[in-house]
Each structure stands twice: as structure tokens, then as C-alpha cells.
Structure 1
Amino acid sequence: MAGTVLVFVFLVLCCSQAQRLVNLVLLPDAVNDGAVCLDGSAPGYYINKTSVNRWIIHLEGGGWCYDESDCYGRSSTRLGSSSMWQKAMQLSGFLNNDPDVNPEFANYSVVFVPYCDGASFSGNLDNPITIKDKKIYFRGHRILDAVLNSLREKEHLDQAEAIILTGCSAGGLSTYLHLDYVQSMFSNIKVHGMADAGYFIDAANIHGEMYIRGQYQHVFEMQNCSGGVNSECIHSKEESERWQCFMAQYTYPYIKTPIFVLNSEYDTWQLESILQIGCRPPNCSESQMQLIAHWRTTFLQALQPAIQSTTNGLFTDACLHHCQSMSDQSWSKIMVKNQTAHDTFVAWLDMKGTRNVRVVDDHTNPDNPTCG
């Protein structure tokens, strides 16, 4: 998944026409508090401050490292070390500062938090592990704390009127896991979440095996994530089931802060990595298409708490993609029941107008004609 997401992000960041430049702020002092990337380097964030009142905080995605060896390899990439981060980057879609493309959010201050811990900003293991004479640190939740504290102290984030926490893929999962925590840190501010492509479900693959369950469980236990996910979820589970709180499907019912779900019903990463279908429509056999149709049914069943919510928002589409909020095309042009993800989110956030704030695509195949 990491390679696929990196290619996607590269294309989004480099090829959009109207984009926002954000500059890197490293946090070397955070190292003293143990807030470090996998390789022990300092965390940080990219920022473009245009408003003191309204903020978007985006948590980057990029998969997870599933075991110790995987984390060792990841520690030598930009998803595990800040030593490889560029000094500035450009953003688009929901983070676009072009008012013609993104009028409601163009004037928000944007913080983009690069991902370097391998567990959706959730791990907190006191002692590093040693692999091949290299120390590997699992400190994602300390990174999140360091970023939020820096924003409070340097940018006076605690004086804001509104914060939107968002992210895509593993960052979308981060949004589900940490939204209530962010609200608790800024209790006097209206906090909303928008989780893009982070509703990974606990489902069987084509052989009937619950393969992905073991993957998430090992990440949760390896990185000591029990203190870095939704506390209400953790307190409701027996110890043997607490790993479930690392999955949006099980965490969503415990989230108290308003949240908007943005997801494809045919999410390409989930089809490839959870269902393990081995093809992509239209290049699939009839039997494979039947399995994909059954996947959609399974996904929508797991999504029922969000579909039935009377307060939270939702937009799902019948498109073959993974992550869409950072693309001008998919954020503002894919249509479901005559409205876009952008339209639906704005309607939900403002609670004004006549648009539906919970939209589910009825296409039973990934053939929504506006997918592009």
C-alpha cells in the first residue's frame, strides 16, 4: 500500500494546476520528549497560515509497517524518517487555496502533518527495538502531541474558532482514531473530522480468511497503541479485543466529535489488500465481479453506523480509487445523486440548504459515469 499511496500523493502534489505552498517546520526539541520518527529523527509539519480563526489539520497517509522487519525497512524512507522530507510542498483538493476551485476552504490555515511512525500516529512504546544494529522507535502518538502542542504555543491554535481534522488512507484512519482526542485538547473550539478512505473493514478475503485482522492486530500490539486510540473504545473492550479499536469499523460508534465519512464503496486498496481479488474492473471475470459486488454489500453493512447516523455526514461513491479529498477532480467533480463530496461536506458542516448530508451511491458496479 505504501508504494501505491506515495505514487498517488506524488501525482496529486505535482500535477494539480492550482495549489497551496506549505513550508516545513521541524520540531527538534520534541526529540527530548521522545517524539520521534521510526529512525529517531525529529517530527514536524508543513504550514501555511492564512487565518487565525479557521484551521485544517491534515494527517498524511501511507499504509503501516506490519512487523518489525517491515518497520526497519520503512525507517529508511520518507515514511519513517524526516531526513528525507522536502522543505516545501504543494497541496490541492480540499487543501487548495484557489477560491475558484475550493471557495469555502481556500482561506483556512492548513497544517499538513507528514507520516513517519507506521501506525497512524497511535504507537507509544517507551523503549526502542533494535534491528540489525539500528534502533527503531514506535512513538506516533507522541508525534501527534508534539505537533498539536507546537501549534498551540507557536501559532496560538487554542484561540481558533474552528478546526477540521482530516487525512486520507492511513491518515483517514488517524482521523477516526484521534478526533475525540484533538477535541479534548481544544475543548473550547468547534472541532470536526473528515476521514477520507480510512474506513478499512474487518472482512474476509476471497478464500474466506480474515487475513487483514491479524495484520492490524499485530501493528496495534507491536507499537503499544492501546493508549493512542479512542479511549471510549478501549474501555469498552476486553483486553483480547482492544486491537479492534485500531479499525474505523469498530471505533466509529464511540466517536463523539462530529465526523464526515468519505469513502469509495469499491476502494481499490481494500479490494487489493483485504479482499485480495487479484483484478481490477473491467478486467475481471464474472465470478470475480460477483465477489466484488458482495464486497460492496459487506462494506455497506459495516458502514451502517455512519449511514444511519442522524448527526454525522457521509459521501460514498461507486468509483475505483483510494483517497479523493486531495484531488481537485474527485473532490469537486464526482457526482452522487446530483452532488459532489465537496457539496455534501459543506452542507453537513454548515447544516444549511437543502442538500443531503449522507449520500450513498446506488451503483451496484463501480461504474458511476462521473468517476473520470
Structure 2
Amino acid sequence: MAKNIPAMFDHRLKLIICLVISMSTNISAHLTADYNNISITILGSAVAKGAVCLDGSPPAYYYVKGFGDGVNNWVLDLEGGGWCASDDFCATRLKNNLGSSKYMNGTHEFGQIKSQNQTENPDFYNWNRVYVAYCDSSSFMGDNIQSETGINRRGARIFNAIMEDLLAKGMANAENAILAGGSAGALGALFHCDGFSELLPNAKRVKCISDSGVFVHAVHLPGADRRANLFAKVAAYQGIPVDSLPSSCTSRMNSSLCLFPENFIGDIKTPLFLIETAFDQYQLGSHYFSNGSAWKNCTEHLELCTPSQLQVMKDYGIAVRQTLQEISDTTSVGMFVHSCLRHGHTYESSGWDSSYVLANKTIAQAVGDWFYGRDFFQEIDYDNELPLFKNCTKLTASTYDPSLYA
């Protein structure tokens, strides 16, 4: 009987090992599927500081800790979502996530610059990763203490409260840090860039990234007054303090014009990287074309575009490139400017690590090289053979036939 004990023990040990391997495999598969699905943090303590969403609910963010050699590195991404500049318009946001944390998702799927996938995001995958939810509609800049209408406009306080909370959670010890944002969030990142850097005086590197945040004034193009009026209304309604804008800009022009990045980027001292397209779909549709349905038909089927629409797009692309070229000539700003019809890049993996290539680099590679000083990247795509946007098959249904536009 004793002779059978080793065989029985060996058999049972094999069963146990198989069970452990099976359990480990299941756990690994679960983590692989969910490691970028991050739970929300509702910052209830911010309410006492007046840092609240449009409806008065607490602000929120999504956060996951860094690991390995990224444990003291931080990347913060500010969500975008346009602006509201009147009680009527802001009231429409009180019942959704752009005006209330009550309607925000309990989890958020992290990807791109916030992805924990090393292949997709080789330079920042193991950093502390934060996605700051947007519920103030002022690019995190408003501070209008009047709330008789029941609509709160406290974007600047939201930003400050969340920064305080993250500093207490370890960001104060950051060795490397990035403040990024997309669209209206990118405008917020530009506004707060230097202030964010000042919060981390002991960090080795602090830099900022703007994704589709250069909203151009383009004074010589149609709708320039309308674009200026939009930002003037946002500044007034949201109570954006004049002293929060660069004095070097406000001393030269009306303070509301200092919300256009082209008028203040030259005053930003912190290293900056711009991810843009010469044909921003949101700006074209919302700031240049007045007929939304005609614009939609045009961009989805270029052969339906009228000559005037085509000319507007051509002129717009020229204006964007010229604006960015002027920025590149006067500041040490990194940039990746392509020619596809698009708005926003870092919220989809196809925009971050595969769809665009300039100078043989993807956006992820260009940003990584720029951040770590491996290579200063500054590329603006000029393609004289395609005066309109290129056919980016992964991102738009538009077609391009040069014979149609000769």
C-alpha cells in the first residue's frame, strides 16, 4: 500500500497544478479583457469648495495606479465636449454626463495614451493614468459664482479640486507628467499647462499635449465674427477670469480673443505637443458651414460638394497650416499635423498607433520620442496633389477622385 502513495500523491499534485493553471489562465484572461476598464471616482469633497458640475453634483475622474518603473509617472487626460454659453443651452446638459456626474458611466475604457497595452502604448503604458470627466462646459476655465438659475459654472474650481486630490494620492512625487486633452479638453490643457507644471516643481519632465484643440480664428475666412462671438459668449457666461489668461495676450487684444490658441500658445512656457489635422471635421461642420445637413452630405460623399464648399475646405486647410506654421516658427512646439478629415485622435487606438504616419512615425511614436527627448518631432503634411483631405479609409467614408476637382 505504501508503494502506491507516491503515485497517488503525484497524481493529486498534477490535478492541483492543472487547477491552478486553469484558474490563473481565467484570471489572466479576465485582466486582459478589463485592465483598461477603470472605475469612476466621485470627488464628493469638492462640493464644499464650490467645485461642482453644471447641476451641482460632484466632479469625477477615472484613475488607475502606475506600476513598475512607471509608478511615479502620471498622465492626465481632460475630456472634451464643446461648450455652453446660455442658460437654455446649458440646461440641455443637466440630464447627461456633460452636465452631471449622476449620468456618467461607472467605468471608462482606457486606451491610446492611457492604455496599459505595452504594444499600443509603449512609452506610457505603466504610468498612473487619469481621465478627468468633463461636466462644466467651459474647458475647465469658468468661475461664475452666480447660480440663481440653478446652473453652476465652476470649471476652474473642478480642475483645482481634482489636482489637489491627485497630488495627495502621489502625484506630488511625480518624476514625469503629462497634461493632455481632446477638443474642448485640449483647450483646457493649453490653458492650464503652465499652472500644471508649477504644481510639480521637482519633476524631471512635465509636458502638455493638445489633441484637436487649436480652434482657429482665421480672420480672413467666412464666419470669423461668428467664431469670435462664440468664445466671447463662453467667456462671459462661464465667467472665465481675465487674469487667468496670458497678460501678454490680453494686453494686445480683447480678452475673449485670447481663447483662440493661436493668440496665446506662444506664451506657454511648458513644452507642448499639438496633434492636429488640416481638415478638422468639427470645426468645419460647426464653425464654418452654416447648413449642417449639406455639410454632412458633402463630407460623406465628396462628389456632392458644391464648388463653394470645396473652396471653403481648401481655404480652411491653408489657414490651419499657416496658423500652425507660424506657431512652429516662434515656439519650440512639437506637432503632428496630417491631412485627414478627423476630430480627435487619442481616444481610439486607430488614431493613436496605426492610422497616421508622418516622417515614418505614428502619433504614438512621435509623441514618445518628443516626450523623452529622443527626437524633436514637428511635421505638417503638405500634399499639393490632394488639395482637399486625403481618403483615410479607416476613419471616414469619404472618397477622393482628383478628376472631380480639377
Give the number of equivalent residue pairs: 347
Partner in structure 2 of residue 202 of structure 1: 217
1:209-246 C-alpha deviation (Å, 9 max, x unpaired): 5211101111011111125744xx23542497111222
Q: Specify the alignment match of 2:399 in structure 1.
A: none
- Give the corresponding residue for 1:10: none
Which of 198, 219, 222 is the equivalent residue of 1:184? 198
Q: Within the alignment, does 1:331 sit opposite 2:352 as a pair?
A: yes
2:380 alignment partner in structure 1: 360
Q: Could you tell which deviates more after superposition, 280-289 or 335-344?
A: 280-289
**What secondary structure does 2:54 align onto?**
coil
Distance 2:128 2:382 in 1: 35
Query: Which residue of structure 2 lines up, in the alignment, with residue 12 of structure 1?
Result: none
Q: Cα deviations across residues 292-334 of structure 1 (Å, max 9, x unaligned)?
A: 1111111122223432256321001111110001211111111
Per-residue CA deviation, residues 27-64 of structure 1 (Å, 9 max, x unaligned), is 11111110000010011211011243111101000111
Partner residue of 2:241 out of 210, 226, 229: 226
Q: Are the equivalent residues in 1 in contact too, given 2:79–2:184 (CA < 8 A)? A: yes
2:123 is matched with which residue?
A: 104
In 2, distance between residues paired with 1:205 and 1:74? 33
Provide the rounded CA distance (Å) in 1 between the counterparts of 2:367 and 2:393.
Answer: 18
Task: Say if 2:341 and 2:392, in contact at 8 Å, map to a contact too.
Answer: no
Change (3 A) 1:128 1:80: same
Correspondence for 1:14: none
Q: Contact conserved, 1:58 with 1:113, CA < 8 A, in 2?
A: yes
Residue 363 of structure 2 is aligned with which of 341, 348, 354?
Answer: 341
**Percentage identity across paired residues of the two chains:** 29
**Partner AA of 1:366 in structure 2:** F
| Matched ranges for 1:242-321 at <5 A | 242-276=255-289, 278=295, 279-280=298-299, 282=302, 283-309=304-330, 311-321=332-342
Indicate how the Cα distance of structure 1 residues 229 and 300 shifts in structure 2: closer, same or farther if over 3 A, else same: farther
TM-score (norm 1): 0.87
How high is the TM-score relative to the length of structure 2? 0.80
Q: Equivalents in 2 of 1:371, 1:250: separation in Å?
A: 33
| Greater relative CO, 1 or 2 (CA 8 Å, sep 6+) | 1
2:360, 2:330 → 1: CA distance?
21
Structure 1 residue runs of 5 or longer lacking an equivalent are 1-16
2 CA distance for matches of 1:300 and 1:20? 35
1:286 alignment partner AA: P
Richer in helix (by share): 2
Cα deviation, residue 276, structure 1? 1.1
Q: Deviations over 1:272-292 (max 9, x none)?
A: 111117231624233322221
Secondary structure in 1 matching 2:233: helix
* Structure 1 vs Structure 2 CA RMSD: 2.2
Gaps of at least 5 residues in structure 2 are 1-32, 396-406
2:39 alignment partner in structure 1: 23
2:156 to 137, 141, 157: 141
SS in structure 1 at match of 2:287? helix
Question: What one-letter code is carried by the residue in structure 2 that aligns with 1:367?
Answer: K
Query: Highest CA radius of gyration, 1 or 2?
Result: 2
CA separation of 1:209 and 1:177: change in aligned 2, threshold 3 A: closer
Q: Equivalent residue for 2:53? A: 37
Give the whole-Å Cα distance in 1 for the aligned partners of 2:232 and 2:122: 41
SS in 2 for 1:110: strand
Instruction: Report what 1:8 is aligned to.
Output: none
1: CA distance, partners of 2:218 / 2:202? 38
